[in-house]
Structure 1
Amino acid sequence: MISDDFDGDIGDSEFIKSIFEHKCELTQNINSSKDNYVLHIAPKGGRNNGNIAVAYSKVPENIIDIDFSKENKDLLFIAKMNGKIDVYDLRCNITVQQFSDTTSNTNNFRNLTCLALSPSSTLISAGTELYEGDAFILFWDSRKTTFLGGYWQSHKDDITQVKFHSNDPNKLASGSTDGLINIYDISHSNEDEALIDTFNTESSVESIMWCKEKNKDHICCATHTCEIQLWSTNTGNLTKSFSRKKLSLSIQRKSEAHCYVASVYRNFLDQVFILVGSNFEKDKCMRTLKVSGNELEPIYLLPKNEQIIRCSWNDAKGNLLITGGEKGILNVWKIS
């Protein structure tokens, strides 16, 4: 039996290379600060543009999320824990708009946890921590800085992510530490009418992502217990589930206790990829798996990785990957 206090590869280096056949080359290594985590990466001008914005852990107002406008690539939305969302114009280097929850007491604001922009960026949504027994999903009209209201009855703990559907501006998904994933039709202001479906992960939701399986909408979820789940939004069924042990074995590691999910993303073919690593003694191990049917397919290694990865971004063609993590390093990887 392998002790939870140890981790290592199941086979030797040649065996590992034979399993992960695709090549991934480190082309740039940008070190900002060893004491500054890279928390968020946002692409400027969509997934076909190589320009990005980066949010670090040590800033005065605690940035919790960032995203570029989908209509104006020079406008960067910056969500902060203090309940405010700033819009920063890169052309003049100033904040040109600010959004806040005008119904809350300014001295007792609701802490924001996540940010999402609709496909046209006309709607802004943000999730909050639990506040006086309720967790809120808030909405604004970006054209008028108008606070539109929110939902607060469907989750019973901190909201970890909100995600708009890429093609349907009225469809929104949310995830929470209460273990629930909710799907809403936000054309309804009444929350009972808006709530379409609820999926119970029986865990705690860390991240969610819209994806396709057989041309049908799904939600891909990563839990705080390092499990990957895919839920059909058409049938409401859990269609695929990969345990922490399964992830650990798929990246050819001995200890599931040290396995962690760094991020989940999809390529232009809507294939789901999972960045999985080991945190054993700040291990450099980081590998990529692809969801292939009901199995996990080893894709590539990330050689020379020097940190625990916290976020990533990939371009639309799938041949460029950027990762950031706990040593403040931005790595640029070329995939072939």
Structure 2
Amino acid sequence: MCSVSSGAASMEGLEEKLGGLSLARRSRPEQPTYLLDAALQPGGAALLAVSCSDFTVRLHNKDTLSLVGEFRGHGGPLCGVTFGHTSPDLLYSGSADGKVRVWDVRRPGGAAAAAAAAAQTFSSAAAHSYYSLDVNCSDGLLSAGTERLDEDSFLVFWDPRKPGAAPLGVYSESHSDDITQVRFHPRDKDRLASGSTDGLVNVFDLSRGAEDEALLATCNCGSSAGAVCWSGPAHQQLLCLSQDEGLYLWDLSRLHTDEPLALFSATDARGLAPPAGGGGVDYLVGGRWLEGASRLLVVGGTSGGDLHLMECDGGGLRPLRSLEGGHASTVRCFVWDEAADALITGGEDAQLLLWKPGGAELTAGMKESLKSQSALKLKSRPHRRVSFQKEKKKKT
């Protein structure tokens, strides 16, 4: 009974938080560019990093959305940004140019600043083009996933504490197409999930070393894997949103049981949680486990820029709140600011929006779109269809 009561209280708390959100701030850049990915500086710091389709990384104040600085240096589309965990002043960005750059956000560049602002640069084979990246919770391991090269795609690993060092190694057998997502576990420095356009989401225990031994589970999302998110109170669940709007939730605590890993799956999740006010969901943006509410938040949107906030668990998707009148086009990224109970969103209209409790937009005006041609196009290739595969038993 205690768990039911606690769950109900958490649910009421989340609905109350989301119900109070309204548009508080709007950032309008001078040049049109897609906002592709965003990351909050950990530890309650004030910075927000955004990767853009013009190959730049922009730093904003998360509370005012004012532009603090800008990093230039990449020569191809960016595949993501993430802050260090134990060293939150370091910001990692990866690119199709085959470089992972590390920036010191205490020395942000301006519009005229050049690539010299990069504190560190990591690379692997000259032909590698990175599609995803992440750093583990101890900042002791950096990983990037590559686009397919001939018949292979690679997970590359470095020690970020050794500037410019060669890779520690690569995994090359577990995926056969572009590796679209690399996500380290929030608390276990050796646990890694990777998603690919081959339709597979793999889970590794890197402490085992060799790729065959490290592979714990292979899950099939039936299509190109898009966003991947660790979730659940102990982060033992894994959410995958496919690039054709499928949704899959797996429970990895069942790896050593006879129970199926799948808690919930839907090949097309857009119609599962119709908003109360009518309309529908055209696409899924991503998911995030909210620690304070102990709930998994999934964000969807419409081509016109409206946002739909939903909760996901083993019972499926449920609508929580719609946010209208903000964006004018497709939303590409969001972050949840746990300390402020605020949502920050960015997208193809080049706008960065802050939604917070009791917010009243300070700069009124028409909702405008600065939509430009994207420098980053989603790719889709034929994928292998395989069933769930639990951990291989060691030969005796």
Q: For the superposition of Structure 1 and Structure 2, which TM-score range results when normalised by the shorter chain? A: 0.7 to 0.9
Correspondent of 1:325 among 327, 331, 347: 347
Q: Check if 1:195 corresponds to 2:215.
A: yes
Correspondent of 2:312 among 281, 291, 302: 291
Contact 2:34 2:347 in 1 (8 A): yes
TM-score by length of 2: 0.72
Q: What is the distance in 2 between the residues matched to 1:277 and 1:92?
A: 35
- Using the TM superposition, give the Cα deviation of residue 175 of structure 1 relative to its aligned residue in structure 2, in angstroms: 0.5
Instruction: Show CA shifts across 1:193-251 (max 9, x none).
Output: 111111111121101111116x5611001011112110111225111124535546522
Aligned to 1:172: 192
**Distance change >3 Å, CA 246–CA 89, structure 1 → 2:** closer
- Using the TM superposition, give the Cα deviation of residue 97 of structure 1 relative to its aligned residue in structure 2, in angstroms: 1.1
Contact 1:228 1:242 in 2 (8 A): yes
- Using the TM superposition, give the Cα deviation of residue 85 of structure 1 relative to its aligned residue in structure 2, in angstroms: 0.9
Whichever residue aligns with residue 72 of structure 1, its letter is: S
Residue segments in structure 2 that go unaligned for 5+ positions in a row: 1-16, 56-73, 109-116, 256-260, 359-396
Aligned to 1:182: 202
Correspondent of 1:31 among 20, 28, 49: 28
Correspondent of 2:179 among 159, 162, 179: 159
Give me the identity figure in percent: 30
Give the SS at the match of 2:133.
Answer: strand
Contact 1:216 1:234 in 2 (8 A): no
**Distance change >3 Å, CA 24–CA 92, structure 1 → 2:** closer
Correspondent of 1:232 among 238, 242, 251: 251
Q: What is the distance in 2 between the residues matched to 1:262 and 1:251?
A: 16
**Distance change >3 Å, CA 63–CA 242, structure 1 → 2:** same
**Distance change >3 Å, CA 34–CA 294, structure 1 → 2:** farther
**Distance change >3 Å, CA 249–CA 88, structure 1 → 2:** closer
Q: Check if 1:267 corresponds to 2:290.
A: yes
**Distance change >3 Å, CA 335–CA 229, structure 1 → 2:** farther
- Using the TM superposition, give the Cα deviation of residue 276 of structure 1 relative to its aligned residue in structure 2, in angstroms: 1.2
Residue segments in structure 1 that go unaligned for 5+ positions in a row: 1-19
Aligned to 2:375: none
Q: Which 10-residue stretch deviates more, 235-244 or 308-317?
A: 235-244
**Distance change >3 Å, CA 216–CA 241, structure 1 → 2:** same
TM-score by length of 1: 0.84
Q: What is the distance in 2 between the residues matched to 1:216 and 1:275?
A: 19
Give the SS at the match of 1:187.
Answer: helix
Whichever residue aligns with residue 274 of structure 2, its letter is: S
**Distance change >3 Å, CA 133–CA 33, structure 1 → 2:** farther
Aligned to 1:206: 226
Contact 1:39 1:57 in 2 (8 A): yes
- Using the TM superposition, give the Cα deviation of residue 299 of structure 1 relative to its aligned residue in structure 2, in angstroms: 1.4
Give the SS at the match of 1:240.
Answer: strand
Whichever residue aligns with residue 54 of structure 2, its letter is: K
- Using the TM superposition, give the Cα deviation of residue 134 of structure 1 relative to its aligned residue in structure 2, in angstroms: 0.7
Aligned to 2:80: 65
Q: Check if 1:100 corresponds to 2:147.
A: no
Q: Check if 1:315 corresponds to 2:333.
A: no
Q: Which 10-residue stretch deviates more, 81-90 or 240-249?
A: 240-249
**Distance change >3 Å, CA 83–CA 270, structure 1 → 2:** farther
Q: What is the distance in 2 between the residues matched to 1:44 and 1:168?
A: 20
Correspondent of 2:155 among 129, 133, 137: 137
Aligned to 2:52: 56
Aligned to 2:242: 223
Aligned to 2:37: 40
Q: What is the distance in 1 between the residues matched to 2:38 and 2:222?
A: 29
Runs of 4+ displaced beyond 4 Å: 252-256
More strand by share: 1
Whichever residue aligns with residue 38 of structure 1, its letter is: L
Give the SS at the match of 1:193.
Answer: helix
The number of aligned residues is: 306
Q: What is the distance in 2 between the residues matched to 1:111 and 1:170?
A: 24
Q: What is the distance in 1 between the residues matched to 2:276 and 2:174?
A: 39
Q: Which 10-residue stretch deviates more, 154-163 or 59-68?
A: 59-68
Q: What is the distance in 2 between the residues matched to 1:297 and 1:318?
A: 24
Whichever residue aligns with residue 286 of structure 2, its letter is: S
Q: What is the distance in 1 between the residues matched to 2:135 and 2:38?
A: 15
Whichever residue aligns with residue 118 of structure 2, its letter is: T
Q: What is the distance in 1 between the residues matched to 2:31 and 2:202?
A: 37
Whichever residue aligns with residue 173 of structure 1, its letter is: A
Relative contact order higher in (CA < 8 Å, ≥ 6 apart)? 1
